[in-house]
Amino acid sequence: MTDEEIKKLIVEALESKSKTKSKFYLKDFYAMVPDKKPREVKNLVNKMVQEGTLEYWSSGSTTLIGLKGMGKQHQEED
């Protein structure tokens, strides 16, 4: 799989789960792409954050990742 195919797979997976959950742990992304090493997935997720596709969210003790503009905190801002 190319990086672009993996990015598309990740976005589709997040969109399909968006009705129940908007933020995910990094380990959840590893499960989405089991044939890649965790380090490769982490680097790809970081690249997607830099591109503006994904965003980090932190509670102070835990960092989660989700699609940019999704989740309760964005709905409250409207």
pLDDT of residue 72: 59
In this predicted model, which residue has the larger pLDDT, 70 or 6? Answer: 6
pLDDT of residue 22: 86
- Would you place residue 78 in the very low, low, confident or very high pLDDT band (cuts 50, 70, 90)? very low
What is the signed CA dihedral for 41, 35, 3, 55, rounded to 10 degrees? -30
State the CATH class of domain 3-77: mainly alpha
Share of the chain above pLDDT 90, in %: 68
Instruction: For residues 11 and 47, give the distance between their C-alpha atoms in angstroms, rounded to a whole number.
Output: 13
Delimit the domains of the chain by residue range: 3-77
